[in-house]
Amino acid sequence: MLEHMPAWLGHALKGLRAGADALVIARSGLGSGAQAGTGFATLDLTSPAFAHEGRLPPRFTADGDGVSPPLLWSAPPAGTAALALIVEDADAPTPQPLVHAIVWHIAADRLRLAEGAITADGAGTPDGDVGRNSYLREGWLPPDPPTGHGEHRYAFQLFALDAALGDPGVSPGRTALVEAMSGHVLAAGLLIGTYSREEAAPVGPASSAMPA
């Protein structure tokens, strides 16, 4: 995991980031029907655990219990058949954002995910099915940015779909989910949580001067 990356390497990679424009929500071609060329409606996605663009409590990261945070959202628009959630790190030192969670087939009338709800679930439940994160595992991948790499933005992206997602495969990853959602998004919500690790303490004496 990235928490084991040495601080000097984190500093060296500070300018290497996937970027917000690589997030799923920024992709073209997701909108359904009339929304295809004009963007889509907005869902109000929030969490009682942190504010938009606020710092994630360590409990939800690799520095704590590593459970997924609670999420709440507004009622989706008429015609919504299902919802899908993807959580990505826009600042991962990788060509594409690092995927921390995928949940699809969320019931259209469901308006929340409880704390710790994103776990491996095999064939899923009536309220959703958990897909694969970037470590190719079902469930929540706790944020673990490299020490010295600076602040990372974790983008919680919720999509209201005009049709259930057919069959993107068992435990789909990012590519399969995006392909299945394309052309079916009625509305979307975005919630950003940030996290960073403290810079490493300097090694050796701070000054060669002798105390007076």
- The predicted pLDDT at position 9 comes to 35
| Average pLDDT, integer, range 136-160 | 93
> pLDDT tens digits, residue range 192-207?
999 998 644 344 344 3
Strands 152-161 and 129-130: unpaired
Q: Rg of the Cα trace of the chain?
A: 19
Non-local (6+) Cβ contacts of 39 within 8 A are 31
Average pLDDT over residues 135-155: 92
Secondary structure class of 178 (helix, strand, coil): helix
**pLDDT at residue 97 is higher than 70:** yes
CA–CA distance, 121 with 39 (Å, rounded to integer) = 33
27, pLDDT greater than 80: yes
- Residue type at position 169: G
What does the domain layout of the chain look like in residue ranges? 2-195
Question: What confidence tens digit (pLDDT) does each residue in 71-86 have?
Answer: 999 999 999 999 999 9
pTM for the model: 0.83
Average pLDDT over residues 107-132: 84
Q: Specify whether the CB–CB gap between 81 and 102 falls below 8 A.
A: no
Architecture of domain 2-195: Alpha-Beta Complex (3.90)
What pLDDT, in 10s, does the model give residues 35-78?
554 467 999 999 999 999 999 999 999 999 999 999 999 999 99
Instruction: Find the mean pLDDT for residues 153-170.
Output: 83
Alpha-carbon distance of 106 to 110, in angstroms, equals: 7
The confidence score (pLDDT) of residue 141 equals: 96
